[in-house]
Structures are given as C-alpha cells and as structure tokens.
Amino acid sequence: MTDGSQTKLQALAELLRAHAGSTAVLTGAGISVDSGIPDFRTPGQGLWTRMDPMELSVEALRGQPERFFQRCLEVFAPALNARPNRGHQVLAALERMGFVFGLITQNIDGLHQAAGSQNVVEVHGNLRNASCMDCHRTYPLEELLHQLREKQLSRPQCSDCGGILRPDVTLFGDAMPPDFGRGQEMVASCSLLLVVGSSLEVSPVNSLPALAPQVAVVNLDATPWDRTARLYVRGNASELLSSLLEMLGGS
C-alpha cells in the first residue's frame, strides 16, 4: 500500500469514528472479485467485455428463453460456489463493532450475509430464490438449477401452472424491487455513506450517494463520485478494509 493510501485510510478511520453508528455502506461487484466472481466493467476481465449485457434482460428472457437460461448458468456459476473474502468479513465486523448500522448491496451473491452482516438490503435481488412468471409462486433457486442441469430442460417450469421460472434477480428491463426503497431510506437516514467496490455507473443505484450528507469511496478504479466525496481511496477492497479494521482496533 502506498503512503498516500495509508494517510487516506487514517482519515477514513477518523471519519468512521466520528460517524460511528450512523454510517451505511453501499457495495458493488468489486467487493466480491476476491471471492472469484468477476465484476461487470473492469476492462479485460469484467463480464461485459465477454458478453452483451442485453443477453441478461427481460426481453431476452421472453424472446429467447433457452439462450437466456444458458447464459444464466454461465454467469451465476461463480457466485453459487463462492465464499466470503476478507472484505466481506471486515464489513460484518464493522457492523458488530457498532460503526456501521446497515449495508446496501447491488450484489446477488449473498456473501455479506454469509460473512455475518445482519442488516443487509439487496437492491438487485438474490440467488436464493426463483419465481413463476405467471402465478408468482416462489421456489428455491435449486429447483430452477435442477431442471436446467439434471432434467436438461431448456426452460424451467412452474409445477403449478407451467409458467417459466426465473431467478429473483433484477434484470435489465425489470422494475426495481421494493428493497430499493428500503435502500433509499437507509441512505437518507445515515450521516456517512461508505461506497465499496462499485463503479457507481449503474442506474438507479448511482443516485443513492446524492441522498447521503457525506460520501467516502473505496474502489480500484476512479468513480464519478470521487470529486464530490469527502474522501476516496483507490485500491483492493479486501486489503484496504483489512488495514482500516486494524486502525479501528478490530481484528
């Protein structure tokens, strides 16, 4: 870590002390990269450099379900087998220690909860459930996976009505889930929003920082919020958060 990052982390530790109990966290795909899940936008590695985002849209699901589900299996596979990394663990520790009161995530991988975070709002859905597009019955995601993998069905079906089962993740073209409103409330009630591992390019989540009185950003690459933020630190989230936790007296 550079001396510059060290100084900025010290300043971030001070900021967290000053906002202990009223800090909310917003995470994106970058926090889970060290768990082996590629993000979307990192040049050369991100998912969008290898496929067209519209292949995971509602339009694709309705128009070409076979291709859509094939893509789902490829795209979701790393997240289904992943384990939390040090970054997820540190954020859970910051909640336990009383610095952070809640966490909003764009990720669908469930790794914050797996690491022990309690107050988590998932604004893009999750990989735990699937639901019928017609009668809206909910199933565990395993049912959808079982039909695709073991039964070799090209489009998973609802056993009640025969409708198509879809994963409960927010696709391009979907309305935002009700949890987005909870996320907005969480940000509106914090005094500091700590953003970790998000490009802040995805709408409408990128509107959330504007609701926070102060913003701090920890991310590998530059984000549109760096200039406005109270402070930003560039680098690997797991490494930076580990050092931050030490500075705050945790382990």
Buried b (16+ CB within 10 A) or exposed e, 45-60: eebeeeeeeebbbbeb
Q: Please tell me whether residue 201 binds Zn ion under the rule CB under 5 A.
A: no
- Choose from Zn ion, ligand NAD, none: what does 16 bind? Cβ within 5-8 Å by kind: none
Do the beta carbons of residue 229 and residue 217 sit within 8 Å?
yes
Q: Please tell me whether residue 198 binds ligand NAD under the rule CB under 6 A.
A: yes
- What is the nearest approach in angstroms of ligand NAD to the Cβ of residue 166? 16
- Choose from ligand NAD, Zn ion, none: what does 46 bind? Cβ within 5-8 Å by kind: ligand NAD
Q: What are the contacts of 217-221 at 24+ separation with CB within 8 A?
A: 218/12, 218/194, 219/30, 219/195, 220/30, 220/42, 221/42
- Choose from Zn ion, ligand NAD, none: what does 199 bind? Cβ within 5-8 Å by kind: ligand NAD
Burial class (CB in 10 A: 0-12, 13-18, 19+), 242: middle
**Of 164, 217, 208, 161, residue with least CA distance to 186:** 208
Do the beta carbons of residue 196 and residue 237 sit within 8 Å?
yes
Of 126 and 158, which CB lies nearer to ligand NAD in the complex structure? 126
Q: Please tell me whether residue 187 binds Zn ion under the rule CB under 5 A.
A: no
Q: Please tell me whether residue 108 binds ligand NAD under the rule CB under 6 A.
A: yes
Q: Please tell me whether residue 91 binds ligand NAD under the rule CB under 6 A.
A: no
Q: Please tell me whether residue 37 binds ligand NAD under the rule CB under 6 A.
A: yes
Contacts with Zn ion, 141-160, as mask; x by CB under 5 A: -----------------x-x
- Choose from ligand NAD, Zn ion, none: what does 135 bind? Cβ within 5-8 Å by kind: Zn ion
Q: Judge whether 19 counts as a catalytic residue.
A: no
Of 140 and 172, which CB lies nearer to ligand NAD in the complex structure? 172
Give how far Cα 79 sits from Cα of 34, 65, 126, Å.
12, 21, 10
- What is the nearest approach in angstroms of ligand NAD to the Cβ of residue 206? 8
